[in-house]
Amino acid sequence: MEQRIYFFHMNESRYAEYLQLCKGLGIETCIVPEQKHCLSIGHIAGIPGVSARAAEDADQRIGEEMLLLFGLDGRALDTFLAAVREAGIRPVALKAVVTPVNSRWSARRLFAELQKERSAMREL
C-alpha cells in the first residue's frame, strides 16, 4: 500500500519542509486545496468505491494546519514522527489516520472532531 500524507491549511514554506522530509522517507505528499475540504476523506485519499460526497460534514472552515495520514502502519508513523523531531520541524498539532469511520467524513468534519479531542485532552 502506498504511503501518503495530505496537508490542509499549510503555507508553501512549511509544506516544503515536510515535502523534503517525506521524500527521504518514501512517503508521497499532497496539499489539499480549500475547495476540496468538503469532500469525503476516503475520496481525497483515493480509496476505491468511496463517494466524493461526505456522509458527515461540518460548516466549520479548516482554520489551522492538519495532517491526514494514509497507508502508514505503526512503524512508518513512528518513523515519520521521529524524523520530524530530528529535523527540527515544528510539528502539526492536528493529525489523523484514515479509518473506515472517518473515511466517510468530510475533511471539515475531521477537523471539527480533532479540535474537540484536543479540547477534551486539555481539560484532563
The number of beta carbons lying within 10 Å of the beta carbon of residue 79 is 14
One digit per residue, the tens of pLDDT, for the chain of length 124 reads 799 999 999 999 999 999 999 999 999 999 999 999 999 999 999 999 999 999 888 888 999 999 999 999 999 999 999 999 999 999 999 999 999 999 999 999 999 999 999 988 888 7
Q: Which residues contact residue 68 at a Cβ distance below 8 angstroms, ignoring those fewer than 6 apart?
A: 5, 6, 8, 32, 41, 44, 45, 95, 96, 97, 98, 107, 110
**What pTM does this model have?**
0.94
CATH number of the domain that 94 lies in? Answer: 3.30.429
Report phi then psi at 85, rounded to 5: -60, -50
Residue 92 belongs to what domain range?
Answer: 4-123
- Count Cα neighbours of 101 within 13 Å in the Cβ-side half-sphere: 5
Number of structural domains, the chain? 1
- Cell matching residue 50: 468511496
Beta-strand ranges (E) seen in 1-124 are 4-8, 28-32, 66-70, 94-97
**In angstroms, rounded to a whole number, what is the distance separating the alpha carbons of residues 88 and 102?**
30
